[in-house]
């Protein structure tokens, strides 16, 4: 095992020998299901906690260790095979934080008696390890990991795995090792095929990939994806140089060779492997990969760190179950199994009727989750969900948790169908079911109060003195139907309201008049278009410069906005068409429809380079900036949203988290962990006063 122990991690505490024996049996059964068809009753995090609890109990009671214990065994000792591996396919030991990584690296360097100057850093893919054997460049056999010594022949899957060619670009005899998995798109397609076949669905991409890889008699075919992570020459080898020299190449060069032979690697993805010179550089890359995790089209559950040089690997050697020169840096679990207790049907500001899952509380990625999105009624039907189901719940980054699928093999027969509403849950009017996203026939008018309160909020139009009860009075009096009507209110109308005196009336009218001068970014945000919150509204406003340019844009032009994908652009076009009458009312009322300092999309399209030059001259051009802590000096009176607006007016990109991509941290009082992280990453840190001086022309 490693010289230095991994960082402490949560464990399942076992009180006595009976609890230990039960835990061993549960772990063995779960591992058999996990490595079999992927239908384990435990999620990854629960299984890891259980095994760590077994390890802890065995350390305290070595005389009670059971022969079936999963500790120290590849795949928990639950699987085997009849095809011997040419070289054992071992598991990896784990660390769970930066301190654990540093301890492991320091222990490895002590073992070698020298400093390691090249570390390979690459994603730990969430799939099934296999070896692909090529003879003279032709794919001849696929073998699973099994127990690490021998695996199962799954050659019947050849031809269904993207990234694993039938023939290499050179006639070499070689074994390519890697991970078979399903991308998000492949998983959705597989679920559709399974639903059409037997009405059920897969619980998650990994179980779908496991079942598909082994299936030989299905009536339908599901596509898989392969990413290579290593290669070695097959005995007795071949006469060609490329395969034989793999024994002495650094890992990074081996991966270059694998890609050159035409096998897919992660090189073309946002989480491509790199070589780092120091552990600090390794940690920085780990944070970059972790940050990209939520946006990847495939699953990862950690980062693999290896000594890159063959000499270091050979000198370090192996333990009974893992190489000493490699470690898996595990990321927090983003998927758990819990129970679906109920479904709530809520109506949003735009009239969209959205179901929300009420869950038995479960901890995911450091937070307790009690609710998750279900998208719409059609989505519930597609996933085949029932009340009382055990379900997989997925969360990544700051994305709202969502229910993936029912865990069908855990059903007891007590589950019940989910009732869908027949009328609008908010107002009782009819429901428009012509599209998958159901909507009240009254549209935004159904939730007019919520829409107007949102638009008048501090981070949108910031209408001082317009509280929710006042908006309700205006709606009840039929003086307004949407927030554009605020700009046509008369003094007489306001004075007629209960508890609305002359002073309050004049103050509110003055506040509304001031709001007319707000920048386009705030006006656009106030529209409440789905998928365009504060940050995206600022990007849209700065990109187009005017509401006229936004309304004239097509889907391609909208996609040119940073962070605006195909689906978001399509949705934005639909929403813009819907709120066109509202926008026209705002224009007629004299509300500002331009963004100060923006380079208009029209000027760029016409080939006017002056906009580009002006953008480049901005003090924060191209910089990712994070503001944290309490602002002081000239920034003291600004809200965090206003500080972010200031950053973007000065040409920067406001971000809420520190990463290796961060160019500048504005650290106010009590900056906390973000400042510490910036110091570790070598990010430039300045005070609010220094930042104010830097962007003084935009204050």
Structure-block tokens of residue 463: 């209408």
Average pLDDT of span 96-119: 93
Angstrom distance (rounded) from CA 145 to CA 150: 7
Average pLDDT of span 532-558: 90
Burial class for 273, CB neighbours closer than 10 Å (0-12, 13-18, 19+): buried
More confident residue, 503 or 601: 503
| Consecutive H or E run containing 460 | none
- pLDDT tens-digit map of 220-236: 889 999 999 999 987 75
Nearest alpha carbon to residue 448 among 481, 478, 424, 489: 481
Which backbone phi and psi does 240 adopt, to 5 degrees?
-80, 145
Mean pLDDT of the chain: 85
Angstrom distance (rounded) from CA 222 to CA 43: 23
- pLDDT above 70 for 101: yes
- pLDDT tens-digit map of 111-142: 999 999 999 999 999 888 999 999 889 999 99
Angstrom distance (rounded) from CA 517 to CA 266: 49
- pLDDT above 60 for 356: yes
Region of poorest pLDDT, from 255-259, 474-478, 532-536: 532-536
More confident residue, 269 or 445: 269
Question: Mapping DSSP to helix (H, G, I), strand (E, B) and coil, where does residue 307 land?
Answer: strand
Contact 79, 31 (CB under 8 A): yes
Which backbone phi and psi does 410 adopt, to 5 degrees?
-95, 5
Domains and CATH numbers, the chain: 17-78 (1.10.287), 94-330 (3.30.470.30), 335-414 (2.40.50.140), 443-515 (1.10.150.20), 520-615 (1.10.150.20), 618-698 (3.40.50.10190)
Angstrom distance (rounded) from CA 267 to CA 605: 33
Which backbone phi and psi does 547 adopt, to 5 degrees?
-65, -35
Angstrom distance (rounded) from CA 473 to CA 567: 38
Does 653 participate in catalysis according to the annotation? no
- pLDDT recorded at residue 264: 95
Distances (CA, A) of 320 to 89, 149, 316, 324: 11, 11, 13, 10
Name the active-site residue from 73, 124, 336, 568.
124
Which backbone phi and psi does 362 adopt, to 5 degrees?
-145, 140
- pLDDT above 70 for 438: yes
279-292 and 98-112 helices cross at what angle (nearest 10)?
A: 140
For the four alpha carbons of 420, 423, 427 and 433, in that order, the dihedral sign comes to positive
Average pLDDT of span 7-21: 69
Report angle CA 211, 216, 218 to the nearest 5 degrees. Answer: 75
- pLDDT above 80 for 31: no
- pLDDT recorded at residue 75: 52
| Consecutive H or E run containing 561 | none
- pLDDT recorded at residue 42: 66
More confident residue, 591 or 334: 591
Q: In sequence order, which residues have a C-beta less than 8 Å from that of residue 596 and are 6 or more positions away?
A: 519, 649
- pLDDT recorded at residue 601: 43
- pLDDT above 90 for 534: no
Percent above pLDDT 70 for the chain: 90
Angstrom distance (rounded) from CA 261 to CA 162: 15
Partnered with residue 653 across adjacent β-strands are: 624
DSSP secondary-structure letter at 341?
E
Q: In sequence order, which residues have a C-beta less than 8 Å from that of residue 463 and are 6 or more positions away?
A: 456, 486, 508, 511, 512, 515
- pLDDT tens-digit map of 377-420: 988 988 889 999 999 888 754 457 888 888 877 888 899 999 99
- pLDDT tens-digit map of 201-214: 777 788 788 888 88
Give 465-471's long-range contacts (Cβ < 8 A, gap of 24+). 465/504, 465/507, 465/508, 465/511, 466/508, 466/511, 466/512, 470/497, 470/500, 470/508
Nearest alpha carbon to residue 431 among 444, 422, 377: 422
Angstrom distance (rounded) from CA 571 to CA 399: 18
Gyration radius (Cα) of the chain, Å: 29
The alpha carbon of residue 602 and the mean position of all alpha carbons in its chain are separated, in whole angstroms, by 34
- pLDDT above 80 for 480: yes
Give 661-665's long-range contacts (Cβ < 8 A, gap of 24+). 661/288, 661/624, 662/624, 662/625, 662/626, 663/622, 663/623, 663/624, 663/625, 664/620, 664/623, 664/624, 664/625, 664/626, 664/691, 665/625, 665/626, 665/627, 665/628
Distances (CA, A) of 213 to 26, 168, 180: 25, 22, 8
Nearest alpha carbon to residue 262 among 285, 236, 287, 228: 228
- pLDDT above 50 for 5: no
Contact 481, 582 (CB under 8 A): no
pTM: 0.54
Question: Mapping DSSP to helix (H, G, I), strand (E, B) and coil, where does residue 355 land?
Answer: strand
Angstrom distance (rounded) from CA 409 to CA 67: 28
Structure-block tokens of residue 70: 């999963």
Distances (CA, A) of 7 to 100, 104, 125: 4, 9, 21
Average pLDDT of span 74-81: 53
Angstrom distance (rounded) from CA 496 to CA 141: 84
- pLDDT above 50 for 277: yes
Give residue for tokens 């780990």: 286
Confidence of residue 79 (pLDDT cuts 50, 70, 90): low
- pLDDT tens-digit map of 645-680: 888 888 888 887 788 788 999 999 888 778 888 888
Percent above pLDDT 90 for the chain: 41
């Amino acid at each position: 095992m490693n010289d230095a122990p991994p960082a402490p991690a949560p464990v399942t505490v076992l009180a006595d020998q009976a609890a230990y024996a039960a835990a061993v049996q549960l772990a063995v059964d779960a591992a058999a299901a996990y490595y079999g068809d992927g239908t384990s009753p435990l999620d990854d995090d629960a299984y890891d906690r259980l095994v760590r609890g077994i390890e802890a109990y065995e350390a305290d009671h070595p005389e009670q260790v059971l022969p079936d214990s999963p500790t120290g065994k590849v795949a928990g000792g639950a699987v085997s095979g009849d095809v011997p591996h040419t070289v054992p396919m071992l598991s990896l030991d784990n660390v769970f934080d930066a301190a654990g990584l540093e301890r492991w690296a320091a222990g490895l360097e002590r073992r070698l008696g020298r400093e390691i100057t090249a570390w390979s850093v690459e994603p730990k893919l969430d799939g099934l390890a296999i070896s692909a054997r090529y003879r003279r460049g032709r794919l001849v056999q696929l073998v699973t990991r099994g127990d690490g010594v021998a695996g199962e022949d799954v050659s019947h899957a050849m031809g269904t795995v993207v990234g694993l060619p039938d023939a290499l670009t050179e006639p070499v005899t070689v074994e390519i090792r890697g991970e078979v998995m399903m991308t998000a798109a492949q998983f959705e397609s597989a679920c559709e095929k399974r639903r059409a076949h037997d009405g059920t669905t897969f619980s998650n991409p990994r179980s779908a990939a496991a079942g598909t890889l082994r299936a030989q008699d299905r009536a339908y075919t599901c596509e898989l994806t392969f990413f290579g992570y290593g290669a070695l020459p097959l005995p007795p080898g071949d006469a060609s140089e490329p395969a034989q020299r793999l024994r002495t190449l650094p890992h990074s060069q081996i991966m270059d060779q694998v890609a050159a032979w035409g096998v897919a690697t992660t090189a073309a993805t946002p989480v491509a492997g790199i070589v780092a010179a120091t552990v600090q550089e390794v940690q920085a890359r780990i944070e970059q990969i972790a940050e990209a995790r939520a946006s990847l089209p495939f699953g990862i559950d950690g980062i693999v760190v290896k000594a890159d040089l063959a000499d270091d690997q050979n000198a370090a050697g192996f333990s009974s179950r893992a190489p000493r020169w490699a470690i898996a840096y595990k990321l927090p679990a983003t998927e758990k199994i819990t129970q679906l207790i109920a479904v709530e049907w809520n109506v949003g500001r735009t009239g969209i009727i959205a179901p929300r899952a009420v869950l038995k509380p479960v901890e995911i990625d450091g937070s307790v989750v009690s609710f998750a999105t279900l998208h719409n009624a059609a989505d519930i039907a597609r996933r085949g969900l029932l009340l009382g189901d055990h379900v997989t719940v997925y969360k990544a980054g700051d994305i709202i948790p969502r229910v993936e699928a029912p865990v069908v093999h855990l059903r007891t027969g007590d589950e019940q169908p989910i009732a869908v509403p027949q009328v609008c849950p908010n107002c009782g009017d009819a429901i428009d079911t012509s599209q998958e996203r159901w909507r009240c026939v009254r549209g935004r008018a159904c939730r007019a109060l919520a829409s107007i309160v949102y638009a008048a909020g501090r981070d949108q139009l910031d209408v001082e003195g317009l509280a929710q009860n006042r908006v309700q009075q205006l709606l009840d009096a039929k003086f307004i139907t949407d927030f554009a009507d605020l700009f046509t209110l008369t003094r007489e109308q306001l004075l007629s309201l209960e508890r609305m005196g002359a002073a309050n009336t004049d103050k509110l009218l003055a506040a509304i008049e001031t709001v007319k001068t707000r920048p386009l970014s705030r006006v656009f945000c106030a529209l409440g278009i789905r998928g365009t919150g504060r940050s995206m509204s600022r990007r849209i406003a700065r990109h187009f410069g005017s509401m006229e340019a936004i309304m004239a844009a097509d889907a391609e032009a909208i996609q040119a906005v940073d962070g605006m994908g195909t689906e978001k652009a399509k949705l934005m076009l639909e929403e813009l068409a819907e709120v066109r009458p509202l926008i026209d009312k705002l224009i007629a009322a004299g509300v500002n429809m331009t963004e100060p300092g923006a380079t208009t999309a029209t000027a760029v399209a016409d080939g006017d380079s002056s906009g580009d030059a002006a953008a480049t001259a901005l003090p924060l051009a191209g910089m990712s900036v994070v503001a944290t802590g309490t602002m002081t000096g000239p920034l003291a009176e600004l809200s965090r949203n206003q500080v972010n607006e200031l950053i973007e007016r000065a040409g920067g990109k406001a971000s809420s988290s520190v990463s290796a991509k961060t160019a500048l941290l504005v650290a106010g009082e009590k900056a906390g962990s973000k400042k510490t992280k910036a110091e570790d990453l070598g990010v430039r840190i300045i005070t609010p006063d220094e930042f104010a001086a830097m962007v003084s022309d935009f204050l």
